A and B are shown apart, each in its own frame.
Chain A
Amino acid sequence: MASVEIRDVRKAYGTTPVIHGVDIDIQDGEFVILVGPSGCGKSTLLRMIAGLENITGGDIRIGERVVNNVPPKERDIAMVFQNYALYPHMTVAQNMAFSLKLRKAPKSEIDSRVNRASEILGLDKLLDRYPRQLSGGQRQRVAMGRAIVRDPQVFLFDEPLSNLDAKLRVAMRTEIKDLHQRLKTTTVYVTHDQIEAMTMADKIVVMHDGIVEQIGTPLELYDRPNNRFVAGFIGSPSMNFIEGKVKGSGFETASGLHLPLPARPGAADGAPAVYGLRPEHIALDPNGIPVTVKVVEPTGSETQVFVDAGGQQIVCVFRERVTAGPGETIKIAADPQLVHLFDAKDGKRLIN
């Protein structure tokens, strides 16, 4: 096991820069998730850690060693690919044993490691099958088994669950998390699914267009997003943003509505700003602001209601059942302690 240190790492394909200086510190044994929209450079960064892509600038350290010029096989990392990349002409057991065979490990050691990994992953009965004869979830497990037998310094996962159906994805999520708690191997995991990130990570790195927007624990990112991008990316359904300006110690929407703030914002009176309100922090309140119901979507455990507040679309999530139908008026309010305020131009957080 080892820590991973990424210092001002840059990547350009030809003259096109795709990663513009990224700094991430990963502690020994930590489960870190890189999350961000498609094309933001997550895979590229992961592949640079693995050594499958050259590093254009900056340093990557694994343990204490700078690995910029260390070939992949000497970095002692294992990677699980999105399409699993199982060797189709080898059985499950051979797939898992391949790296050990190359290392010329003794047969007894290979067997015991493969057996242990297959026990952990419940692959005992499938050892003689070929990848073609496995379901998606089983292939996924074999790919993890191949990583586990190596007992590497670092596990790298590139969207390992994106080819699975929704239910299996949830199950595998728990399994990977459980596996990490047992093995305690430093893990870097890439996904574009923020729920996966929130549920699994010790630490989340939110990336966007080749830069790191924020690093923090899942709850830090949820409670105190540094900027509008992170605020919108983390949480589901995503945060409501209302345009307007700072007015005294409160906020005034473009349509003249006054909304409360938890503290004085770090911006001048009248400065344009964006008010952020998570759907689940809105409650029905007889003293609240009247809004018109557009659509009601009950999910059973909660109800999503799309409302119109003076021309502004807002999504609300209520724990209680909502009886109002489209066109009717309900009154809503938000806990001022839980609202966010961002700069209208650079999107920075304005309340600390």
Chain B
Amino acid sequence: MADTAIEIGRMKAPPRKEPSAWSRLVSGRGWLSFWYMMPTAVILILFLGYPLILGVWLSFTDAKIGRPGAFIGLENFEWLWGDDVFWLSVFNTLLYTIVASTIKFAVGLYLALLLNKHLPFKAMFRAIVLVPFIVPTVLSAIAFWWLYDAQFSIISWTLEKLGLITANINFLGDPWNARWSTIFANIWRGVPFVAITLLAGLQTVSPALHEAATLDGATSWQRFRHITYPLLTPIIAVVMTFSVLFTFTDFQLIWALTRGGPVNATHLMATLSYQRAIIAGQLGEGSAIATAMIPFLLAAVGIAWYGLQTRKWQQGGSND
């Protein structure tokens, strides 16, 4: 059987002429897709790859503004290892990222579930939820700056009028107040992205599944727990990866609100890196701080990737 099949295959195959190298280059399937990817690849390498590699390279040099710098190995990192401000910024960044991302996820999911229900004025609510996302970061930071102002804060004013406090709250002047205030501003800004993306995910869950689960005897909490949530996990993984990345690398909001103060209490790795590299001109040291962010970010992406990979039910087809 097999032999005859091979025989037939041999007989049928026409003598093939080796295509020239040039024709392979312009028409081969593999090469064709390569050509199509070229423009994007060039842009990515030019605007993402080059700065990234340059940054990493700088972190191994003692470059300063106006001076190219020489390779000094791990000296920058050794110096940072003993730098309390650097470790404070690491702590701040982790606190900022973990607290803000967790709350953004919880609030975003809650809003998404709410908006997925049949509410009156649904379209209007959806539009309102998006507002913080549309406003430019710096603009919203300025708004928060006023809200948190030591003298003119409307929050302090309201609480005072209500008789809950007697003196103005020093939102941005006290280290912990400043941390929570910036975290709150970040949450306010980040929730719409999470909410709207999860809402899109919720809408891909067929209502028939909910009906089937209802008939199977599931309460609304059980339907969420056993149907909605597991079906949403792939999207949650993607959204939360982005959310964590955005939060971890946040710069604008902090810079506009506190510039890292008071006494470095709100310095994130990104703001500290900017301060050291650009403001103070220590390019090498600033780059080292930025480079130190990479392992954290890779870990976040890795976790999300792993979360996506293990969902066997999504992978289609193979019939065995």
With contacts A88-B231, A102-B222, A133-B319 taken as known, whether A77 is within 8 angstroms of B215 at the C-beta atoms is: yes
Residues 227-243 of B at the A interface (beta carbon under 8 Å): 227, 230-231
With contacts A85-B209, A133-B318 taken as known, whether A72 is within 8 angstroms of B313 at the C-beta atoms is: no
Q: How far is the CA of A87 from the CA of B222 in the complex (A)?
A: 14
B120 to nearest A CB, angstroms?
Answer: 14
Check if A85 sits within 8 Å of B211, measured CB to CB: yes
User: Which one of B216, B226, B230, B313 contacts A132 once the chains associate, using CB atoms below 8 Å?
Assistant: B313
Contacts of B316 in A (CB 8 A): 132-133
Interface string of B206-231 (1 = CB under 8 A from A): 10110111111111001000110011
With both beta carbons as reference points, the residue of chain B lying nearest to A71 in the complex is identified as B214
User: Which one of A83, A99, A103 contacts B208 once the chains associate, using CB atoms below 8 Å?
Assistant: A83
Q: Which residues of A contact B (CB under 8 A)?
A: 50-52, 72-73, 77-79, 81, 83, 85, 87-90, 98-99, 102-103, 130-133, 146, 150
Which 5 pairs show the lowest CB-CB distances between chains A and B? Answer: A99-B216, A85-B208, A85-B212, A73-B217, A130-B313
Tell me the number of A-to-B contacts counted with CB atoms below 8 Å.
67
B235 to nearest A CB, angstroms?
Answer: 13
Contacts of B209 in A (CB 8 A): 85, 87
Q: Is B312 an interface residue (CB 8 A)?
A: yes
Interface string of B284-320 (1 = CB under 8 A from A): 0000000000000000000000000001111111110
Contacts of B313 in A (CB 8 A): 88-90, 130-132
20 further contact pairs, Cβ within 8 A, besides A81-B208, A88-B231, A102-B222: A50-B211, A52-B211, A52-B214, A72-B214, A77-B215, A81-B212, A87-B212, A87-B213, A87-B226, A87-B227, A88-B314, A89-B311, A89-B313, A102-B216, A103-B217, A130-B312, A130-B313, A132-B315, A133-B319, A146-B212
User: Which one of A72, A78, A85, A132 contacts B317 once the chains associate, using CB atoms below 8 Å?
Assistant: A132
Contacts of B222 in A (CB 8 A): 102
Contacts of A98 in B (CB 8 A): 213, 216, 226
Per DSSP, chain A at the interface is: mixed
Counting chain B CB atoms within 10 Å of each CB, the highest count among A81, A131, A150 belongs to: A81
With both beta carbons as reference points, the residue of chain B lying nearest to A147 in the complex is identified as B215
Check if B318 sits within 8 Å of A99, measured CB to CB: no
Chain A to chain B contacts (Cβ below 8 Å), 9 pairs? A78-B215, A85-B206, A87-B213, A88-B313, A102-B217, A102-B218, A102-B222, A103-B217, A130-B313
A156 to nearest B CB, angstroms?
Answer: 9
Interface string of B184-220 (1 = CB under 8 A from A): 0000000000000000000000101101111111110
Contacts of B231 in A (CB 8 A): 88-89
B229 to nearest A CB, angstroms?
Answer: 10
Contacts of B312 in A (CB 8 A): 130
User: Which one of B214, B230, B317 contacts A133 once the chains associate, using CB atoms below 8 Å?
Assistant: B317
Q: How far is the CA of A99 from the CA of B219 in the complex (A)?
A: 11
Contacts of B226 in A (CB 8 A): 87, 98
Q: How far is the CA of A50 from the CA of B213 in the complex (A)?
A: 12
With both beta carbons as reference points, the residue of chain A lying nearest to B208 in the complex is identified as A85
Contacts of A89 in B (CB 8 A): 230-231, 311, 313
Contacts of A72 in B (CB 8 A): 214-215
With both beta carbons as reference points, the residue of chain A lying nearest to B205 in the complex is identified as A88
Check if A50 sits within 8 Å of B318, measured CB to CB: no
Check if A79 sits within 8 Å of B212, measured CB to CB: yes
Counting chain B CB atoms within 10 Å of each CB, the highest count among A83, A88, A103 belongs to: A88
A127 to nearest B CB, angstroms?
Answer: 14
User: Which one of B214, B227, B230, B314 contacts A73 once the chains associate, using CB atoms below 8 Å?
Assistant: B214
Q: How far is the CA of A103 from the CA of B213 in the complex (A)?
A: 12
Q: How far is the CA of A79 from the CA of B213 in the complex (A)?
A: 10
Check if A99 sits within 8 Å of B317, measured CB to CB: no
With both beta carbons as reference points, the residue of chain B lying nearest to A103 in the complex is identified as B217
A67 to nearest B CB, angstroms?
Answer: 13
A145 to nearest B CB, angstroms?
Answer: 13
Contacts of B218 in A (CB 8 A): 73, 102
B205 to nearest A CB, angstroms?
Answer: 10
Contacts of A81 in B (CB 8 A): 208, 211-212
Q: How far is the CA of A73 from the CA of B222 in the complex (A)?
A: 12
With both beta carbons as reference points, the residue of chain B lying nearest to A102 in the complex is identified as B217
A83 to nearest B CB, angstroms?
Answer: 6
Q: How far is the CA of A153 from the CA of B49 in the complex (A)?
A: 65
A214 to nearest B CB, angstroms?
Answer: 30
Contacts of B208 in A (CB 8 A): 81, 83, 85
A20 to nearest B CB, angstroms?
Answer: 25
Check if B215 sits within 8 Å of A73, measured CB to CB: yes
Q: How far is the CA of A279 from the CA of B8 in the complex (A)?
A: 54
Contacts of B219 in A (CB 8 A): 73
Contacts of B216 in A (CB 8 A): 73, 98-99, 102, 146, 150
With both beta carbons as reference points, the residue of chain B lying nearest to A130 in the complex is identified as B313
Q: How far is the CA of A87 from the CA of B226 in the complex (A)?
A: 9
Q: How far is the CA of A90 from the CA of B209 in the complex (A)?
A: 12
B207 to nearest A CB, angstroms?
Answer: 9
Contacts of B314 in A (CB 8 A): 88, 132
A44 to nearest B CB, angstroms?
Answer: 14
Q: How far is the CA of A89 from the CA of B222 in the complex (A)?
A: 15
With both beta carbons as reference points, the residue of chain B lying nearest to A158 in the complex is identified as B208
B263 to nearest A CB, angstroms?
Answer: 49
Contacts of B212 in A (CB 8 A): 79, 81, 85, 87, 146
A132 to nearest B CB, angstroms?
Answer: 5
Contacts of A132 in B (CB 8 A): 313-317
Counting chain A CB atoms within 10 Å of each CB, the highest count among B219, B230, B313 belongs to: B313
A79 to nearest B CB, angstroms?
Answer: 5
A140 to nearest B CB, angstroms?
Answer: 14
Q: How far is the CA of A99 from the CA of B213 in the complex (A)?
A: 8
Contacts of B213 in A (CB 8 A): 87, 98
Q: How far is the CA of A31 from the CA of B222 in the complex (A)?
A: 32
Q: How far is the CA of A77 from the CA of B215 in the complex (A)?
A: 7
Q: How far is the CA of A73 from the CA of B212 in the complex (A)?
A: 10
Contacts of A133 in B (CB 8 A): 316-319
